[in-house]
Amino acid sequence: MDRTAVADVSPTGAFARKASTFRNAFDANGAHPPEAHRYVLVVSLACPWAARCLAALRAKGLEDVLDVAVTHPVWGKTRPNDPNDAHAGWRFVKPGTVVTGPSGRGAFEADARCSATACEGAEFVRDLYEICGAPTEQRFTVPLIWDTLRKTIVNNESSEILRELNTKFQDFCSSDAAREVDLYPEHLRPKIDEINQWVYDDINNGVYKCGFAVSQSAYDEAVKNLFSALDRCEELLARSRYIAGDVFTEADVRLFMTLIRFDEVYVVYFKTNKKFIHQYEHMGAYVRELYQMPALRRATDFAHIKQHYFASHPSLNPHAIVPCGPNVDLDAAHGRDGPYPR
């Protein structure tokens, strides 16, 4: 059994991500009303899809409203006592505990950011899916929001979670400034939606299309589309401070979480080595500016990122060796204050 992204490959050898299945919204009059201390946001700090939701939670000042459970970055066998069940996935590990990767190689200590469990005594993210009767073909992904009252997953689609956090918990924001943060402003929604579409297809998901391709033709097509889209970003960022204009939006959050992993992981691991992000004049500076924003910096953990990718997929890196570098200086001046266009 392999319910992981590595297995989502079409007959042509191209990576084809499966859709999320839990798509419920928060509704004051529905099954999942916005409340404090009822919901748990389950994330991996390594996962770009989960990190975007964690960044939104922090930008909106909701850290004391929703609990956050953080998985260990390295996948493990989710049914270690069943020789017929080879699934490896996200697990909860007590800080200080040393674990190996799915291949039995490596030694990775759970740091202080890891959670010993999420809720319901779950040892694995898989446990939460099975508690609420997920379909047998379900992939056990993060992020997800868990309802501790109804004991079920509310939503596991990162793009929807991001927007739910942006608008549905306004009464619980920690400050007026946090309440005023709007990652999806009405006047920019058509532009944000248009950018999100091609950024998702060719960059967010595009790096996985490169890394998980199992044919040369699928890889060649994916890497061509990836760098064409990155060039498009570079052109946009020469004309405006943020990807959708002069306002920081969810489109920036979504793009950033891929770009911040690019030089550290994807260039080597997913064979996207045509060019580093820090070599782009405008995009490199843009990444530095966004990394220096507290909500984004606190949702970024390079140790978790590198350990996950390099130790979780034995088919790609059987010895679970985590490379050093390139250690880009993300605290250097970004110079993105203006004027625009440049």
Of the CA atoms within 13 Å of residue 75, those in its CB half-sphere come to 26
Tens of pLDDT, residue by residue over 141-193, are 999 999 999 999 999 999 999 999 999 999 999 999 999 999 999 999 999 99
- Range with the lowest mean pLDDT among 5-14, 83-92, 164-173? 5-14
The burial class, CB within 10 Å (0-12 / 13-18 / 19+), for 279 is: exposed
Has residue 4 got a pLDDT over 70? no
Quote the pLDDT of residue 18. Answer: 67
Averaged pLDDT, 4-32: 78
Region 248-274: mean pLDDT is 98
Q: What is the phi/psi pair of residue 37, to 5°?
A: 65, 25
The domains of the chain are located at: 5-180, 186-312
Residue 12 confidence class, pLDDT cut points 50, 70, 90? confident
Tell me how far the alpha carbon of residue 224 is from its chain's centroid: 23
- Which pLDDT value is given to residue 212? 96
Q: Which residues are catalytic?
A: 47, 208
Q: Determine the Cα–Cα distance for residues 188 and 244; give it in Å rounded to an integer.
A: 8
pLDDT of residue 118: 87
pLDDT digits (tens, 9 = 90+) for 227-238: 999 999 999 999
Backbone phi and psi for residue 216, each to the nearest 5 degrees, phi listed first: -65, -40
**Distance (Å, rounded) from C-alpha 119 to C-alpha 340?**
48
Q: What is the pLDDT of residue 138?
A: 84
Q: What b/e string do you get for 48-73 counting C-beta neighbours within 10 Å, with b at 16 or more?
A: bbbbbbbbbbbbbbbeebbbbbbbbb
- For residue 29, pLDDT over 60 is answered with yes
* pLDDT confidence band for 134 (50 / 70 / 90): confident
Tell me which of 3.20.20.80, 3.40.30.10, 3.40.50.9100, 3.40.50.300 is the CATH number of domain 5-180: 3.40.30.10
| 297 CB burial (10 A radius; 0-12, 13-18, 19+) | middle
Look up tokens 């920019």; give the residue: 188
Q: 39-43 and 67-70: which strand pairing?
A: parallel
Q: CA–CA separation, 213 vs 218, rounded Å?
A: 6
**What is the chain's mean pLDDT, rounded?**
95
**pLDDT at res. 8:** 63
Q: What is the pLDDT of residue 338?
A: 84
pTM for this model (two decimals): 0.94
Residue 108 · residue 101 · CB < 8 Å = yes
**Taking each helix axis from N to C terminus, what angle separates 158-167 and 250-261, rounded to the nearest 10 degrees?**
140
Question: Over the stretch 294-331, which tens digit does the pLDDT of each residue have?
Answer: 999 999 999 999 999 999 999 999 999 999 989 999 99
Query: Are β-strands 108-109 and 67-70 bridged in parallel, bridged antiparallel, or unpaired?
Result: unpaired
Residue burial 80-90, b: 16+ Cβ < 10 Å; e: rest = eeeeeeebbbb
Collapsed DSSP state (helix, strand, coil) of residue 54: helix
CB-based contact 48:55 (threshold 8 Å): no
To which residue do tokens 């996962």 refer? 47
- pLDDT over 70 (residue 96): yes
For the segment 93-103, the average pLDDT, to the nearest whole number, is 97
Nearest alpha-carbon partner for 76 in 135, 131, 140: 140
DSSP-derived 3-state class of residue 15: strand
Query: Among all chains, which residue has been given the structure tokens 């992000």?
Result: 277
- State the first-to-last Cα distance of the chain, in angstroms, to the nearest integer: 52
Question: Percent of the chain scored above 90 by pLDDT?
Answer: 90
Residues 186-312, CATH architecture: Up-down Bundle (1.20)
